[in-house]
Amino acid sequence: MIRRDALIIGGGIHGCATALNLRHAGASVTLFEKDYAGRHASGVNAGGVRMLSRHVAEIPLSLRSMEIWERIGDVVGDDCALDCHGQVLVAETDSDFEDCKARVAELNALGFTHEELLSAAEIRAILPAVAETCRGGIISRRDGAAQPARATTAFRRKAGELGADIREGVAAGMPRFERGLWHVEAGGEEFAAPNLVIAAGAWAGRIAAHLGDPIPMEPVAPMLMITSRVPHFIDPVVILRSRILSFKQFPNGTLLIGGGHLGKADLDTNGTVLDWNKLQTSARTVSELFPVMRNATIVRAWAGIEGKLSDDLPVVGPSPRHKGLFYQCGFSLHGFQLGPAAGAVMAELVTEGRTPTDISGLSMARFNAS
């Protein structure tokens, strides 16, 4: 039996960030990843590093994460191709714009200033190519995008360099609690630790249910498309207020089109199936908003498997039921940016039992109450 201070199931950006921070706190740790680090959501997502439009319950975690992203090279030894030109939410109608005003006012009242209202003129100054009809929007200036597979791999590599025992290609069996320790069988060996972190992405729902902590998680497969290179025409990442669309142009000219249309996911085979009718909707929206894009070609499309909770917020924190058990899952299509801070918070919870970051709105207890 291999004895550790903590075990982690899942090698996405969340599990790897937690492993890294546990090593900084001096804890011994083994991480299990059934495929390879970044094989799923963390390696294939849109790379959006965004504080913009977050639910209020997530904002403290998101702000802390942004501070870590801004010095990511020092943290993981790789700049992760992080490129920050802001993210912009576009209001296409008057009622969208009214919502934007209300949102910024609400955040300001809570003391958050990272989102700023943009008038129609201001938005056209920032996005000259955008359709004339846009009414305005919101900008979060420090936001940007990183290369997801590179970032996740960098967290894994750094955690390994600091002494974390990272086991890729090794699936963890269902954990059991015996005589004060969490036991996990993996790769023909037995591991035990007083602390166990479930960072198993879309697969976490099954583990939680097995442990008697049911959460309303659905495995989903958000889709993305990338186009051929087109002349540079846009700097910030753009999101629409009331249609499902986000996009970003890379320095090499290619354009990433996403936003959250879902294909089908299969947890048992790792398979995903694209839904071309929904990708078509994205293609239509882009051609309406940016007519210059009509002749670009789509060179690749893909989907990643992600765990979505019923209220679109993650669970970050201890199990309400079991000692030494922690959850870091259910990121519901927007957990990439949260990875660095969630890892720091988890390490604090495991080693000190508390964290300075307000995560009260992300506790698992919210599902038991209802």
Give dist(CA 303, CA 258) in Å, integer.
10
CB-wise, 35 or 348, nearer to other proteins?
A: 35
* Positions 134 through 173 that interact with other proteins (CB under 8 A): 147-150, 153, 156-157, 168
If one asks whether residue 39 binds ligand FAD (CB under 6 A), the answer comes out as: yes
Report the 10 Å Cβ neighbour count for 25: 15
Selected from 26, 132, 212, 297, the binder of other proteins by CB under 8 A is 297
Site size for other proteins (CB under 8 A): 35
Virtual torsion, Cα 159, 164, 168, 173, nearest 10 deg: -130
Report the 10 Å Cβ neighbour count for 181: 18
Q: Which helix (H) or strand (E) holds 86?
A: none
Give dist(CA 41, CA 113) in Å, integer.
29
If one asks whether residue 268 binds other proteins (CB under 8 A), the answer comes out as: no
Selected from 6, 186, 293, 316, the binder of other proteins by CB under 8 A is 293
If one asks whether residue 240 binds other proteins (CB under 8 A), the answer comes out as: no
Q: Is 38 left (phi over 0), alpha (psi -120 to 50) or beta?
A: left
Question: 44-60 burial by CB neighbour count: b if 16+ within 10 A, else e?
Answer: bbbbbbbbbbbeebbbb
Give dist(CA 255, CA 306) in Å, integer.
22
If one asks whether residue 294 binds other proteins (CB under 8 A), the answer comes out as: yes
Give dist(CA 86, CA 64) in Å, integer.
17
CB-wise, 122 or 288, nearer to other proteins?
A: 288
Selected from 123, 164, 215, 279, the binder of other proteins by CB under 8 A is 279
* Positions 319 through 358 that interact with ligand FAD (CB under 6 A): 329, 331, 333-337
Give dist(CA 246, CA 269) in Å, integer.
28
* Positions 155 through 184 that interact with ligand FAD (CB under 6 A): 171-172
Token code pair at residue 51: 């504080």
Q: Give which of ligand FAD, other proteins, none residue 93 binds (C-beta under 5 to 8 Å, depending on kind).
A: none
Among 26-34, 233-241, 296-304, 343-351, which window interacts with other proteins (CB under 8 A)? Answer: 296-304
Q: Could you list the residues that contact ligand FAD (CB under 6 A)?
A: 9-15, 32-35, 39-42, 44-48, 171-172, 199-203, 222, 224, 258, 304, 306, 329, 331, 333-337
Task: Give the residues lining the site for other proteins (CB under 8 A).
Answer: 36, 38-39, 43, 147-150, 153, 156-157, 168, 227-228, 271, 273-274, 276-277, 279-280, 283-284, 286-287, 293-302
